[in-house]
Amino acid sequence: MNLVELQNISKTFYKKDDLEHTVLSDISFSVKRGECFTIIGPNGSGKTTLLRIIALLEKQTRGKMFYDGKDIINLSNKEIVMYRRKFSFVRQKPVVLNTSVANNIAYGLKLRNVEKEEIIIHDFDKNCVELFRLIYDFHAYILKIVLSKIFKGFDNHFRVFE
């Protein structure tokens, strides 16, 4: 079963002059329990807005969201607080502790009275580091191809942490 599932989530902001600015349009995905999931994209692409919607800190304009199979879009304020306590996300620059992502998440879980045995940091760190390395390698590979097209013979003079 999916831990979190989003179906056609959209978010539109309305400016003072009644102009619409859509930052998310029909976003759908699911995250299984224990899965390491990463959201990447350029500045201003809606990553933080999406995380805020998932954490129930902001309302979506359209779409559905489920947590453990339960629709969590139209909750009472009391239920929203209860579900917010089940979510946490770590920003690019740590807000809580100046340590690893895993330790920041573990601290949040500890505050929520999650048993120490349930907080598995080692595998989380290992899996996330592996995922980030793959993403980095992919970006470095694409950069090398692009630069070699721009500068003839570039790949003979450049190595990307191989």
Q: Over the stretch 73-112, which tens digit does the pLDDT of each residue have?
A: 888 989 988 888 777 666 666 666 677 766 777 777 777 7
Would the pLDDT of 5 be above 50? yes
Q: What is the mean pLDDT of residues 23-32?
A: 91
Q: What single-letter amino acid sits at 52?
A: R
Would the pLDDT of 72 be above 80? yes
Q: What is the mean pLDDT of residues 138-162?
A: 55
Domains and CATH numbers, the chain: 1-87 (3.40.50.300)
How far from the centroid of its chain's Cα atoms is residue 159's Cα? 30
Please provide the average confidence, as pLDDT, over all residues in the chain: 77
Residues with Cβ within 8 Å of residue 105, at least 6 apart in sequence: 88, 90, 124
Judge whether 28 and 16 are in contact, CB under 8 Å.
no
Q: For position 144, what pLDDT does the model report?
A: 65
Nearest alpha-carbon partner for 161 in 143, 132, 140: 140
Locus of tokens 């201003």: 44
Integer Cα distance of 90 and 108 in angstroms: 10
- What pLDDT, in 10s, does the model give residues 105-140? 777 777 777 777 776 655 555 666 666 667 767 766
pLDDT tier at 158, thresholds 50, 70, 90: very low
Q: For position 61, what pLDDT does the model report?
A: 94
Q: For position 131, what pLDDT does the model report?
A: 67
**Which is it for strands 70-71 and 20-32: parallel, antiparallel or unpaired?**
unpaired
